[in-house]
């Protein structure tokens, strides 16, 4: 190995083998200690004292009819939630439990800790927390991360590292905006955006499989290329004649009959545009295709052990080309979402690192579609939370909250170490013979 060719693969042989018993004990105790800090900071701090209450709004629009806000006494609720978190940590550390229970405990720990934090942060505020708005913003922020991580997932499962999701977003977004602006059709924009992403992925596939460029390096350079090309064309076309080139129509929201009337979550989740639904529906679809179809089995074989796959007659390189280009359609769709679905115009470097976070979501989700979805929602929550909290005037600078997804990723990658295994052949070009 001269270079770091896979995302986390080559470190495994250097990494200490984490014994699950020890990590369970240490992890559980660490959770309990952090929970204890939460108890002290959130429950017993001055913000929740003096009988302060925390208001949870359950309507997206406070003026509309619906359930009335819940007002919770801040101090006891925060203490209770923090105590639950501590118990979860202690149970994990000392009780003999299975890995599955551990996972649910972790979810419970995380949920109660975050809730305790929210109760503390919004204590005494007259506006309170708008729960449907947080749900809505989280689900919206997760969309590009989901699409990006699915794209990277398809690539890595077939043995190509796609770190150029950022570039595919940008190129897809640009292609979508310029096409939709000139044709006045969102559908033309959608097609163009997906094709733009696929084009970037085709570059990746060709240079990775035919010219054998180191794939992480290639991805970074392709990101630079996409940033340069779109930035240049933006300066030349869009900033001079925005009316012609940068004023696309956007997708309309479609309220799903019935579902959109559900209180609290209905308006937030079921009154979105078609790209939103598509992104969430793609997750089970990709899962099904990968794990329940012949194509999926072949793809995983090519990503794990291409020599064996070749032996049984699978065309390794051809399948890789197909999958990588298909993955480009997904990340191109992410670009379409950023522009036609969300912002209605293109801006320089507008993907703003979302492509990289999508890859982080893939790793935190351990190369599975469902896990990636969970990680994407988590990251979306962390990004949106600081917007919600900045209006509440918490003493924590919002920058530190914005760092949360990145720090979580570092923590997960460091904690999992050798346990986070990418597909074995990911990043290695296949040469017959």
Partner 1 sequence: MTTPTPDQNSSEETPPPAAGTPATPEPVEQPATAQPTADPGSDRSLGTVIRNVFTAENSAMVTFLAIVLSLVVGAVLIVLSNTATMDKAGYFFASPGDFLSSAWGDISSAYSSLFKGAIFDPATVSGTPSQFFGPITTTLEYATPLIFGGLGISVAFRAGMFNIGGQGQTIIGAIFTSYAAFTFTSLPGALHLIVTVLAGLVGGMLFGGIVGWLKAMRGAHEVIVTIMLNYVALLLLGGWLLNTGAFHDPTHAGQAISKPADPDAVLPHLFGSGLNTDIGLLLALLATVAVAWFFQRSKLGFEVRAVGLTPSAARTAGINVRRVQIASMLISGALMGMIGVTQTIGLANPNNNAIAPNIDAGLGFTAITVALLGRTKPWGVVWAALLFGALQAGGALMQTQAQVSIEIITVVQAMIVIFVAAPRLVKEIFRLRATKIEKGAAPTATPPSPDPFHTTSVGGQA
Q: Does position 431 bind partner 1 by CB under 8 A?
A: yes
Strand order in the sheet with 70-73: 70-73, 53-57, 129-130
Residues 228-247 that bind partner 1 (CB under 8 A): 228-229, 231-237, 241
Q: At what angle are helices 165-183 and 131-157 packed, to 10 degrees?
A: 110
Owner of token pair 């809730």: 115
Which of 172, 286, 409, 423 is the binder for partner 1 (CB under 8 A)?
A: 409
The answer to whether 226 and 171 have CB atoms below 8 angstroms apart is yes
Q: Does position 61 bind partner 1 by CB under 8 A?
A: no
Q: Does position 114 bind partner 1 by CB under 8 A?
A: no
Closest contact distance (angstroms) between CB of 189 and partner 1 is: 19
Which of 4, 30, 44, 264 is the binder for partner 1 (CB under 8 A)?
A: 4
DSSP helix/strand/coil, 54? strand
Whole-angstrom distance, CA of residue 389 vs CA of residue 134: 10
**Neighbouring C-beta atoms of residue 407, cutoff 10 Å:** 11
Closest contact distance (angstroms) between CB of 226 and partner 1 is: 9
Binding letters toward partner 1, positions 284-323, x by CB under 8 A:
---------------------xxxx-x-------------
- 335, two tokens: 């670009």
Closest contact distance (angstroms) between CB of 172 and partner 1 is: 18
| Window of 37-45, 61-69, 193-201, 399-407 that interacts with partner 1 by CB under 8 A | 399-407
Whole-angstrom distance, CA of residue 10 vs CA of residue 15: 9
List of residues 6+ apart from 415 with CB closer than 8 A: 23, 27
- 26, two tokens: 């240490």
**Nearer residue to partner 1 within complex by CB, 57 or 409:** 409
The answer to whether 380 and 149 have CB atoms below 8 angstroms apart is no
Closest contact distance (angstroms) between CB of 137 and partner 1 is: 19
Number of residues engaging partner 1 in binding (CB under 8 A): 75
Residues 146-205 that bind partner 1 (CB under 8 A): 163
Whole-angstrom distance, CA of residue 233 vs CA of residue 244: 13
**Nearer residue to partner 1 within complex by CB, 127 or 396:** 396
Between vectors from CA 145 to CA 111 and to CA 140, what angle results, nearest 5°?
70
Whole-angstrom distance, CA of residue 305 vs CA of residue 301: 6
| Window of 83-91, 140-148, 319-327, 423-431 that interacts with partner 1 by CB under 8 A | 423-431
**Nearer residue to partner 1 within complex by CB, 101 or 212:** 212
Which of 160, 360, 373, 375 is the binder for partner 1 (CB under 8 A)?
A: 360
Q: Does position 353 bind partner 1 by CB under 8 A?
A: yes
Whole-angstrom distance, CA of residue 398 vs CA of residue 394: 8
Q: Which helix (H) or strand (E) holds 73?
A: strand 70-73
Which of 32, 54, 143, 214 is the binder for partner 1 (CB under 8 A)?
A: 214
Which of 70, 111, 356, 392 is the binder for partner 1 (CB under 8 A)?
A: 356
Which of 26, 95, 107, 410 is the binder for partner 1 (CB under 8 A)?
A: 410
Q: Does position 66 bind partner 1 by CB under 8 A?
A: no
**Nearer residue to partner 1 within complex by CB, 90 or 424:** 424
């Amino acid at each position: 190995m001269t270079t770091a060719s896979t995302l986390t693969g080559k470190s495994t042989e250097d990494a200490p083998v984490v014994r699950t018993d020890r990590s369970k004990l240490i992890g559980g105790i660490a959770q309990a200690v952090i929970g204890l800090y939460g108890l002290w900071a959130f429950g017993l701090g001055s913000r929740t004292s003096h009988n302060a209450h925390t208001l949870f709004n359950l309507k997206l629009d406070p003026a509309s009819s619906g359930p009335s806000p819940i007002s919770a006494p801040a101090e006891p609720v925060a203490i209770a939630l923090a105590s639950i978190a501590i118990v979860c940590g202690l149970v994990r550390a000392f009780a003999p439990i299975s890995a599955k229970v551990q996972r649910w405990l972790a979810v419970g720990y995380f949920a109660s800790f975050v809730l305790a934090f929210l109760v503390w942060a919004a204590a005494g505020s007259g506006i309170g927390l708008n729960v449907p708005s947080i749900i809505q913003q989280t689900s919206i922020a997760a969309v590009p991360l989901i699409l990006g991580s699915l794209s990277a997932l398809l690539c890595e499962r077939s043995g190509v590292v796609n770190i150029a999701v950022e570039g595919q977003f940008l190129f897809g977004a640009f292609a979508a905006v310029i096409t939709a602006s000139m044709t006045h059709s969102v559908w033309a924009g959608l097609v163009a955006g997906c094709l733009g992403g696929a084009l970037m992925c085709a570059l990746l596939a060709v240079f990775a499989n035919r010219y054998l460029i180191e794939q992480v390096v290639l991805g970074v350079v392709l990101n630079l290329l996409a940033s340069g090309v779109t930035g240049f064309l933006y300066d030349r076309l869009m900033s001079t004649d925005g009316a012609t080139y940068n004023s696309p129509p956007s997708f309309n929201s479609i309220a799903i009959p019935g579902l959109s009337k559900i209180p609290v979550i209905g308006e937030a989740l079921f009154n979105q545009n078609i790209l939103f639904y598509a992104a969430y529906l793609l997750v089970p679809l990709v899962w099904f295709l990968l794990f329940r179809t012949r194509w999926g089995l072949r793809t995983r074989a090519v990503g794990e052990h291409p020599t064996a796959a070749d032996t049984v007659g699978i065309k390794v390189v051809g399948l890789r080309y197909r999958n990588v280009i298909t993955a480009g359609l997904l990340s191109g769709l992410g670009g379409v979402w950023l522009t036609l679905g969300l912002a209605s115009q293109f801006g320089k470097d507008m993907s703003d690192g979302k492509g990289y976070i999508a890859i982080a979501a893939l790793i935190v989700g351990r190369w599975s579609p469902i896990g990636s979805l969970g990680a994407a929602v988590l990251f979306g929550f962390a990004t949106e939370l600081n917007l919600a909290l900045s209006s509440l005037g918490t003493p924590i600078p919002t920058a530190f909250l914005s760092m949360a997804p990145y720090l979580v990723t570092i923590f997960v990658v460091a904690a999992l170490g050798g346990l986070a295994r990418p597909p074995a052949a990911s990043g290695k070009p296949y040469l017959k013979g």
